[in-house]
A and B are shown apart, each in its own frame.
Chain A
């Protein structure tokens, strides 16, 4: 079984400042790290490796120094990795990123299962995984909170919906994005660091891809552009009501009508 985990290098601190003038995240001089959500994806893959002898591959898109996080995935136990890097990929939005990754996946050979973290800590969109699956034309399940069973031809997962938990049996090849806390990620191993320090990490650029049309990558391939990034306004206004269910429902309906929500 071949598993591919998509990972990303993100700023090392959660307190990233936004440049007020340009609205762009200030990344200069900030340490970077492997997206914390991706650690759960790697751990999920490694558990499958331990259980079923699966091979774990990782892929990332980024500047050359993003090879560091592939090295880190090796230190956790990943078998192979590749970096998609090309100036032409710069400025990609979620759609262009997902497309680039989907092209990269094709370079990795036959993959049965793609695992992504639920989202990244710098963009928090949670869109790249599912969009990538759409480009690849494979089924996908987001917000996976538990692996129920890993079968020969498919995987059974629990997905965390807002009010329910749904169980899905998904045929390979497919893509899942996993929730924080699905497993406690292991720490990188110094032994594996030494064992894999000379392991080659192939770099792929656009010229290595099946689709070599520049218009589909980077800024050119991005229908959206970030104008401004700002923390959402926290609205803490609230009223507390007490009463029976019926009273409260009536009051709530009146209030919603007052506010013209219904």
Chain B
């Protein structure tokens, strides 16, 4: 693809729009902006601009469109698939300064925010008003627009669904600079193709989100967790479909192995409340009264015990919850700290196939003599499987990783799964999406991309 290289005239224009203080060129751009959270894919943009208004975003996009300059939108850069890396150089449009909470509408139960508001700020703000924004990805310092663009899921997806289910409306800037609104403060909408839902999960390739109207729920008054030790992981995971079948709806169903717990203990310098076992399920229930929650978990506790659980441990106070969830929140960092480099596979499979898939990753571990760690959302079938480089040379690592990924993605396909549950395709997972989607599917995606972005300037090289 031939894009125009940035020259002094372009810089001048960007300065005329944003002022000198918000335009960074060459060495002024921090190295962090060359990659995302997982690394591996690296390139610095030619220029980085911090926009603070829709108008600025619109002007920049129009200019880039007219001059055929690639634009990579970026939030906090916490992605894991290279989605926010400027692989074709050009302009990086940093939206983290558009970080205001604009309106809480308690009559419509919506929250209107700018794209750079952080997930943790949203939950803190709405919970102070007894309201609830359910999507709960582990990375709380991600921006809301990053979450929208990857259709992030998180732990509460079992009961509450994913980001897409909580986006009511969006203000977007199209690649040609036109501003438009899709969706709105409305509960139902059958008015043509849902453009709003096309933008959600589009990984910054179709339009730039400059405002979002989020759906809120009343805040459940109480939550408890059950930590359930099992003799082994297979038995733990095989219990999950029985829980789902029981029609009780936990908020979250996570699985974890003692190795991850020990790594988190070491990483955090804290103690986990139980070490009796190698494998655990971690379930959360929420509701409005202690009795309501107790009724729900009583049934599940019996199912677990009947399925071979060693016990069911109850976490019902803030201190107890912290002792468990702090460790759960540190798994990724702890695993990262235990190796030289790693890459992840974020497949999603039908919920009754999770056990099959995990067994398969264990087989791969011995087949390829590589450490593979996994933990994840057993309740929604979304797995986070990490392949660790350890002492391999660059060449060996690339080879092993390629082989292991190939095996995992094709097994996921066989099981009726998809490439990504919540991290997205970005740059890194494109080959696997192509395999999974097939020619017709990819052609449709490309045509959609073309309809929004005929010059292919917005986050090119990502998704399709």
Contacts and interface: CB of A to CB of B under 8 A. Distances in A.
B218 to A, nearest CB: 18
Contacts of A14: 318
B312 A184 contact: no
B317 A36 contact: yes
Interface in A1-29: 12-14
Contact of B314 (A33, A34, A184, A189): A189
Contact of A188 (B271, B290, B314): B314
Interface in A186-202: 186-191, 193
Nearest to B225: A187
A36 B274 CA distance: 17
A190 B318 contact: no
Contact of A190 (B272, B273, B314, B317): B314
B314 A75 contact: yes
A222 B271 CA distance: 40
Contacts of A36: 317, 319
A81 B323 CA distance: 26
B451 interface: no
B315 A187 contact: yes
Given A190-B301, A191-B305, A184 B313 contact: no
Interface SS of chain B: helix, strand, loop or mixed? Answer: mixed
A187 B271 contact: no
Contact of A184 (B227, B273, B290, B305): B273
Size band of the B side of the interface?
20 to 34
B320 interface: yes
Contacts of B315: 187
A187 B318 contact: no
B313 A189 contact: yes
A241 to B, nearest CB: 32
Contacts of B318: 13-14
A186 B319 contact: no
A129 interface: no
B273 A188 contact: no
A63 B227 CA distance: 31
Contact of A187 (B274, B301, B305): B274
Interface of A: 12-14, 31, 33-34, 36, 39, 75, 184-191, 193
Interface of B: 226-227, 271-274, 290, 301, 305, 311-320, 323
15 contacts: A14-B318, A33-B316, A39-B319, A184-B271, A184-B273, A186-B273, A186-B313, A187-B274, A187-B313, A187-B315, A188-B314, A189-B313, A190-B305, A190-B311, A193-B314
